[in-house]
Structures are given as structure tokens and as C-alpha cells.
Amino acid sequence: MPHTIALTTNQGDAAPFVDEVIGSGAMKDVYFAPDHSYVVALFRERQDAAARERLRMISEDYRERIFTQAGGEYWRDVFCWPTGVVEHAGRVGVVVPAYPRHFFFEHGSANNDMLGIKGREKEGKWFASANNQQRFLDPRERGHWLNYLRICIRIARAVRRMHAAGLAHSDLSYKNVLVDPCSGQACIIDLDGLVVPGKFPPDVVGTPDFIAPEVVATSHLPRDHVQRKLPCIATDRHALAVLIYMYLLYRHPLRGGKVHDPDPQRDETLSMGEKALFIEHRSDRSNRIRVADARPSELPWADTERLPCTVTGPYLSSLFERAFGQGLHNPTERPTAEDWEFALVRTADLLQPCPNPNCTQAWYVFDNRRSPCCPFCGTPYAGLLPVLNFYSSRRGGNFLADDYRLMVYSNQSLFPWHVNRHIAPNERLSDVQKQRVGYFVLHKGTWWLVNERLTQCRDLSAPRDVSIGERVALRDGQQLLLSREDGGRLVMVQMANGG
């Protein structure tokens, strides 16, 4: 019968655990707390003084900086951050919050959970490839495209916060990110090995598929060689780009059809390192995926002609080209986590629900430059659809284009960050700023904006004020002033015709 062992953390908090291993990783054995509210993870190998100091700083100094500043509560859901360091029988360990229930499979794999994964953790690998999703997962576990976008926003936001604190994850991959496509939640785990540049070097070089090319290309050199490249913030940026690409397009950005060497191991090193090449490179098509060789379960995602990265919209596709073009072998050119967060949030405002109830992705980025249709199932959009083009006020009362638009759909919400360019939709939003200020509805063939909290809304094309509780019909070419404040936005309405 397992018994409970009493422990105290480095901060003096009680941390008892049940002496029964519930899981083992490459470096640690994991034990539950008596009430399952946290786990204790004990390292199998002896930790030297530097490793102990790293764990102390992560669980104390860096944790306090991240969780006690403005927006700190937000991070409790996106980081599984160590809360203390313990020692038992000569082994050092960390105390970590238990994962929320939604990060465990409810239905598991297909065919009545043939793989026996029901109840196991939702590692990102199950969702980052079309083959894993379509061959193995119960359809109820797969989620839809909007939630994958939400997952990517959370991951980008978390990485942005780590990097702002001067930390690098060093092993950012689907192995160390839990996701829930049913709710759009994501959580970064295994944070006890965070890299502090210049102070605490990385313990690992990363997980295959996510290791930056410069790290792969120099991995044969001694660890202390001047030309050896090790995980850092720049390599995290590569891994983040790969994660986002895989979660939105269900394929790897570098694994194409090009063979560099007949020796598989040498070919792998070249393909992921020195000779790495984007499968959608504009001018060099030599690494395109060979669709004829793809498994049926990898289609249509393996077909980059049918589903190029441009289906993710203008903001993300330009970052993909930058990350896997000039940034692939030049780390200083890689998009930052903040760049990705900005692009992902803007892309969320371009989404449109697919009218096909059987569409597996349910949402897509609306492209009003051509006959709009869902790129995933081919269902066209029928009817008029308002597109709101945003302009915002600058000094002198002039309104300038923001390169920002909002696609309207029935019950789409208008939020404060749509109304004023100085408000950013991030962890620092106040409770008031999280509340919608209006919504859109299609009624008897007319699109309406219903004003719920806009105190300065005015239809400049009428002209008339739109009071709280009133609605205003949307018309092509219409100008709507949402706010007179500094940074307040003016909307130019464009009616896109889907036929």
C-alpha cells in the first residue's frame, strides 16, 4: 500500500506526496499529492549546485516576476510553473501544479479508443499532423480551426512573456505543450529546465522537428566549441514558428520530398540543419511534398498547392515566409513571439464560419479579393457580407488606415480593442475591457450593428448618433465613428458579395 511522505519546499510550504510513481520522463519520476492538486517530480540524477540554483530561481525569482505583475493571473492557465523545490532521499525535485482536466483525453483514439489513450495527457503531437488526427483520434477530440488559432495565440503569448523575462524554454515542442482543441486551451510544461542566457545553459538541445537548423548543423561539435550553437531565445523563435505552422496546417514546414544524402541519418541532419528548406519556398520548389507519395490520411494537407500557407491569411503567411525563408538560416531575421501574437490576433478577426455543417474545420480566413469559399471543404459563401476596414485617429484629428479589418458574421462581437487602437487584446485587459460593446446580426436580409456600450458611436453617412441600445444598418461605403477619443476608430464598411 503506497504511503504518504512529508516534504517541505525551499519556501517552507508543505508538499507531501504519495510514494507511487505515476509517470516517468527522460529525467524525472513523478508522484501525486494526496489530493492530486499538484505533483512532485524528482530528478533521478544528482543535481549540482548550479542546477539547484536554477531551480530555486525559476520557482522563486522568475515565478514572482511573472505571476505578481499586471496580468499575472492570466499566466496560471498557460504555464505549468514550478512552485517550489524539494529534496527527498538525496534526490532533488520540483513541485508543479497538476494539469486541468481538459488536458486529458475524454474519448481517446478512434474505434473505441483502440490505442488506449483515454485519460492520458493531450500532448500536442496528436494534433499537429493530419495523419495522427485523421487516422488515430476520435473525431470528438479534434476540435476546429478557430480553436487551433486560439491555441497558437496562447502559446505565442506565453513564449513572449518568457522571452520578456530573459528566459528561453530550450525544448519548445509539441512534447512540452499540452493543448485542448475542444476549448482552445494550451499550457507550456517542463519549465524546470529554462535557459537563462549567460547564467544557466540548456540541459537539452531540443526535440527533433523543432530544433533550429544552426543547432542541428553544429551538433557534432563539442559543447564548449566556439562555433557550437545551443538553445536560446532565437532557437525558441524557430520552434514557435514550426508549432504554429503545424497546428494550423497539420504538416511540417521543412519535411518535403528532397533527399540530400542516401544515408538516412546524414540526410536527416542535412534536411533539418545546413540544407533546411521551406516546403513552400517561393522560388526553390525542390523540397515540395510529393503528393503522390502521401498517405490518404495526410491529404489534403500534404498538398501545398491546394492548401498553401496563404489560407492562413496575409498576416500569418507573411510571417511563415519570413520564418522559413530569410529567418531559417539567419536567426536575427526570425519573427518574435510578439510578432506572432499580433498576427494571430489580427487573423482571428478575419475568420468566417463555414456554412457547411459537415466541414471538419468549421472556420476559415475569409478572402474578399476573390470569390469567397472555404478552402478546407470548398463550400462557397453566398450573399452579402460586411467587412469593416479600420482607421484610427492621430494627432490633429486625422484618421489613418490601420491595415486592420474585421469580418462580420451573425452574433460576431465588437470589443474595446476594435474601438480604440491603444487597447491591445492581451493579458493586461481589465474586466471592463473584456466585455463586448456591440454585436452584429443578420435580420431579414439586412446586417445590423447593435450598440451595447458605445457612448460616442455616430453614423457619419446619415449623419446621426447611434445611442446605446439602438441598432444601425450596415451599407456599402458607410462611415461609422466608433469613438472620438485619441486612438478612436472610424469604420469604412465594405459589402463583399459572395454570389
Cis before residue 375, ω within 30 degrees of 0? Answer: no
Sequence spans of domains, the chain: 4-98, 103-349, 382-497
Q: Tell me the CATH number of domain 103-349, given options 1.10.10.10, 1.10.150.130, 1.10.510.10, 3.40.50.720.
A: 1.10.510.10
The C-alpha cell 478512434 sits at 110
How much is the pTM?
Answer: 0.95
Confidence at 34, pLDDT banded by 50, 70, 90 = very high
* Domain spanning 382-497, CATH architecture: Sandwich (2.60)
Give the cell for residue 259.
533527399
Query: What is the tens place of the pLDDT at every residue in 249-281?
Result: 999 999 999 999 999 999 999 999 999 999 999
Query: What is the tens place of the pLDDT at every residue in 422-477?
Result: 999 999 999 999 999 999 999 999 999 999 999 999 999 999 999 999 999 999 99
pLDDT at residue 25 above 80? no
Query: What is the tens place of the pLDDT at every residue in 133-186?
Result: 999 999 999 999 999 999 999 999 999 999 999 999 989 999 999 999 999 999
Percentage of residues of the chain with pLDDT beyond 90: 79
Per-residue model confidence (pLDDT) at position 1: 61
Query: What is the tens place of the pLDDT at every residue in 482-496?
Result: 999 989 999 999 998
Q: Span 348-375, mean pLDDT? A: 89
- Position with higher pLDDT, 287 vs 399: 287
Strand, helix or coil for residue 145:
helix
Q: How far is CA 337 from CA 130, 163, 289, 345, 416, in A?
A: 25, 8, 27, 12, 23
Class assignment of domain 4-98? alpha beta
pLDDT at residue 284 above 90? yes
Phi (first) and psi of residue 215, to 5 degrees: -75, -45
pLDDT at residue 197 above 80? no
Strand, helix or coil for residue 440:
strand
